[in-house]
Amino acid sequence: MVQLPQINNQELPKTEVGSYFVANYPPFSVWSSEHVPAAAAALDGAPRTDVPLGLYLHIPFCRKRCKFCYFRVYTDKNAGEVDVYIDALAREVALYADRSALNGRQFEFVYFGGGTPSFLSSQQLTRLIDRIREHWTWEAAREVTFECEPGTLKRSKLETIKEIGVTRLSLGVEHFDDEILEANGRAHKSPEILRAYDWAREVAFPQINIDLIAGMVGETDDKWKRTIEQALAMEPDSVTIYQMEMPHNTVVSREAKAAGQAVPVADWATKRGWVDYAFRQFEAVGYQVSSGYTLIKPEQHNGFVYRDSLWHGADLIGTGVASFGHFAGVHMQNVDGWQDYIDACRAGKLPLNRALPIAPKQALIRELVLQFKTGRLDAGYFRGKFGVEIRREFADAFDSLGAERLVDVDGDSARLTRKGLLQVDALLPRFFERTFQNIRYT
Ligand code: SF4
């Protein structure tokens, strides 16, 4: 039995209110509306053929707002309003089909994210896909991922999800302890997880992932151990484990601030210890660590097309309210207001709100920090693509990581140690340009 590490909580950094996860570069806080014309110009350029193209569809509905959630989601929309949104979303995807830089291109990967994509009914889903198919070839996608909340699933809905081409189902389990699920405001309970998972296996999706979170409010060593035991028993094709962060706009952050107290979430070293424990348990039965958050069952896994494409500079059309995209070197994000989004799509205008064209060095840093989340970097890749020796260009960052025994460098290979991998997001700002190192991230 692998033992949980003993932690001296007095010496460790607390979980403060704020963002920790590095999802992109440069930081979102420097994207702005003045750059939206650059996004439009990129979409009106010559057709691009040298990078894969993906589609992200944001379904911003949830049954209930989790107390740690910081996404743009709605819990109060009725069926008619959901229909209005689906219509706008289909129109937005169609608008992209008319842009010259997208002529003749097909989606290599598609991601239904949320919110809760499985909040949609089978009829709504089928209608959305039928509308998209009027403008895009859907069948070319090598991977179609669909996020689900267990309590929204029925066997018949899972059959529809499979029929629309989904190859990878991602189940938002988060935890198996009902008290913890309740305390964190999750809409589902553990019996719904097991029932949904059995149905998903019966329907035979090629890949099933389960998401867990280490450090939910109320977490203990014993509860985490039992959750990992239950996750192991399910034998998912992959498991994703996030460490709980607490950005400003969550219910937990607001309640803690109002009470003048710290957020009731374990410190970072404890959370890393829980993830390390989970990694070792899964590795003991044959899983491989695929990033700072992910384990895969190697014999049943051919990689993540969405993740790996994005982390190597693919184009992504981000559709839906508040969605993020990246096209031909320009970051872009949609408006985050419901009516603004619906009105723009109805008027035949892309609902872009802010953008940022990035310089070649920023594209390099973006790929470097994203790829480092796998725990590995290959200097040869960056030499070939950007003509830059990353060991020399980022000597200070590599040297400091090496001095702290967080990275091992050998020739072209840089590998994070397990200690480094478990805190990878906290290390990545060392590679940022100086002007972006101490600014607000989101
Ligand atoms: S299910 Fe996900 S998107 Fe919905 S409220 Fe919870 S954390 Fe937010």
pLDDT tens digits for range 252-288 = 999 999 999 888 999 999 999 999 999 999 999 999 9
Q: What's the pLDDT tens digit per position in 295-351? A: 999 887 778 999 999 999 999 999 999 999 999 999 999 999 999 999 999 999 999
Indicate whether residue 115 lines ligand 1 (CB < 6 A).
yes
Nearest-angstrom CA–CA distance, 322 and 337:
8
DSSP state of 328: T
Per-chain mean pLDDT for the chain = 93
State the average pLDDT over residues 174-192. Answer: 95
Nearest to 122 by CA among 79, 58, 73, 90: 79
Indicate whether residue 77 lines ligand 1 (CB < 6 A).
no
Q: What's the pLDDT tens digit per position in 135-159? A: 998 888 999 999 999 999 999 999 9
Give pLDDT, residue 21: 85
Indicate whether residue 43 lines ligand 1 (CB < 6 A).
no
Q: What's the pLDDT tens digit per position in 51-97? A: 999 999 999 999 999 999 998 899 999 999 999 999 999 999 999 99
- 4 pLDDT above the threshold of 60: no
- 123 pLDDT above the threshold of 50: yes
Nearest to 5 by CA among 346, 278, 261, 194: 278
Give pLDDT, residue 10: 38
Indicate whether residue 150 lines ligand 1 (CB < 6 A).
no
Ligand 1 mean position to 140 CA, how many Å?
30
Indicate whether residue 322 lines ligand 1 (CB < 6 A).
no
Helix axes 190-203, 155-163, angle to 10 degrees: 40
Ligand 1 pocket check: which of 65, 70, 175, 253 to mutate, most ligand atoms within 8 Å of Cβ?
A: 65
Nearest-angstrom CA–CA distance, 436 and 422:
23
- Residues whose CB is less than 8 angstroms from the CB of residue 58 and which lie 6 or more positions away in sequence, other chains included: 72, 113, 114, 115, 318, 319, 320, 321, 322, 323
Ligand 1 mean position to 216 CA, how many Å?
13
Give pLDDT, residue 437: 86
Q: What percent of the chain has pLDDT over 90?
A: 86
Q: Determine phi and psi for 377, rounding to 5 degrees.
A: -135, 145
- 17 pLDDT above the threshold of 80: no
Indicate whether residue 171 lines ligand 1 (CB < 6 A).
no
- 384 pLDDT above the threshold of 80: yes
Q: Which numbered atom of ligand 1 lies nearest the CA of 186?
A: 6
| CA 226 to chain CA centroid, nearest Å | 25
Domains, the chain, ranges and CATH? 27-309 (3.80.30.20), 359-434 (1.10.10.920)
Indicate whether residue 62 lines ligand 1 (CB < 6 A).
yes
Indicate whether residue 244 lines ligand 1 (CB < 6 A).
no
Q: Which numbered atom of ligand 1 lies nearest the CA of 115?
A: 3
Residue, of 143 and 47, whose pLDDT is higher: 143
Are 335 and 320 spatial neighbours (Cβ–Cβ below 8 Å)? Answer: no
Indicate whether residue 65 lines ligand 1 (CB < 6 A).
yes
Ligand 1 pocket check: which of 58, 68, 71 to mutate, most ligand atoms within 8 Å of Cβ?
A: 71
Ligand 1 mean position to 21 CA, how many Å?
16
pLDDT tier for residue 249 given thresholds of 50, 70 and 90: confident
State the average pLDDT over residues 194-204. Answer: 97
State the average pLDDT over residues 400-419. Answer: 97
3-state secondary structure of 97: helix
Indicate whether residue 114 lines ligand 1 (CB < 6 A).
yes
Measured between alpha carbons, how far apart are the two ends of the chain, in Å?
41
Ligand 1 pocket check: which of 58, 62, 153, 216 to mutate, most ligand atoms within 8 Å of Cβ?
A: 62
Are 410 and 361 spatial neighbours (Cβ–Cβ below 8 Å)? Answer: no
Nearest to 353 by CA among 22, 35, 112, 25: 35
Q: Which numbered atom of ligand 1 lies nearest the CA of 60?
A: 3
pLDDT tier for residue 12 given thresholds of 50, 70 and 90: low
Nearest-angstrom CA–CA distance, 221 and 226:
9
Indicate whether residue 116 lines ligand 1 (CB < 6 A).
yes
DSSP state of 244: P
